[in-house]
Chains A and B, each alone.
Chain A
């Protein structure tokens, strides 16, 4: 095909609304534009001049699916700035909250959004025969993750218990132990989808710099920033290394890291830090882990399912040895400071910088994973289309683009409200 004009609007099976434009002329892909309309709800302005205590709940409303990541990252930035060190119990509650999020959100993506692409079906609701089990497996795993966050943090969406310095309420031993059978049940179910993604032949190979915050606990909440190019940074250095890429067609900023495109997310984390996974996860996921490090973007799904297993294993261990008691969060000191933090949200590194004076936020900078993956995604779509022009028809190319973009698991609610796929 020499010239091509296709328009896919409002892509399905992803978080938020998404369009994208691709222009092919004389057999060459001339242009790929992913439109992210971040700041449409202007959260960085809205939280300015608000008291620090209000921030964790306000930023939760940036995104329905990963609200817990925004809540916990804002808390960490404030704690870092004000010099508050959460107790070990608070850290374990944060971990349980985060693991619940990962289990639920990864299951939503890997089963509901991406699995139909493997079986060439439109929807997980269309699965028939022995494949219907995947729909009900998805429900069981999501439910377990949802309950874990609900018990640890009060709710799976806009969790009310995490506050600056700790938790306003501590779950009882009975409540916590009560979730163990469901986690165990979810654990049994995850292996069939691991087999599917392990054997799946969809391949979107890509040389890129994978970047993630890595710790020896693989807890998504602590550690230092590592890259597959061999660099290592402390989290306070992260913000300075991100460069804004102004895209004239998008009101959202895209980012490069150390001046280059990069990829964040589960694939990056497993590529960089698989040795830190829970010992039982490493034992039982051995054959899947052999795939990593992987350059295949579609393996992001396999990586997410391995992370579900890890979250179940580490959460179960924490709960089994937990001896939690009511613990009052510390007083919040008044201090002029600049608090920076990164955590690993489901879709990758989330960065918060909050300047605080008199307990009021004076300036905010928030960088979400999807903005960081955008440049990478555009390159990938460009290559995919270029390499497919001779072998696929227009409809097949369109479907391949959607599969590729879905594999990245973009969160448009976080990054924006729009990503238009429009061929010009």
Chain B
């Protein structure tokens, strides 16, 4: 009887103590809460201000330069007056072709490798482990080095700077990003969904493609958009692979121009008209990436809830 009362007393004491401690800390907690919020807002600003100012500067200088001539004409003579200076049309065409071709190579390989790592490569096996490691290393590889690889493997082999070499190099930059994002997104899809598929006697590849990948598509798409934006702005690997030219596309084994290359060429000229065209080209590149990502998102969202048509 006495023991029980003593126990209850100590329980009450503990309760009291805990309440006291919590109310003592509640003021401090509110302050800490505020400090953390302010700090995180400050960090957001620190990230946005440089980005915003770059964007503003590009728009300010680039918007004036954009004209029908810039969009449709090949480059004119260096140092010519504005009327004769031509445009950047081959660069626009080249960027679309090289990035498009690189995506056509890189996206399927990246997605399939990501599917392998998430769905088929056991987490303990040696091979998947090695693939994951090399993939991470590849993500951090300087793009110049990838350009040299493109130069040695393709440019030297076929004896010419070419669209193919450029697309090859850019796809190598693209693949590890797509692989990583695909793997991580597929891993989030709950296993119960896969089991539901297995329990219906559906083969594994169909479940992976039509159920698992479909559930994860918005994440995979984010990876693709990220990878496209990344390669659209690459310059270094292009210098060593597509070289750059003032002419329009002729063939896949011939040099071609691209917007980042053209921006770099224009910026290194000592003429104001060239600089202005460079700003215009930079703005165009941003707009192209923006449109590409919007179009991809729209495409997937619209298809997001199509019913009664499981295309098999």
A and B form one complex: no
Q: Which residues of B contact A (CB under 8 A)?
A: none
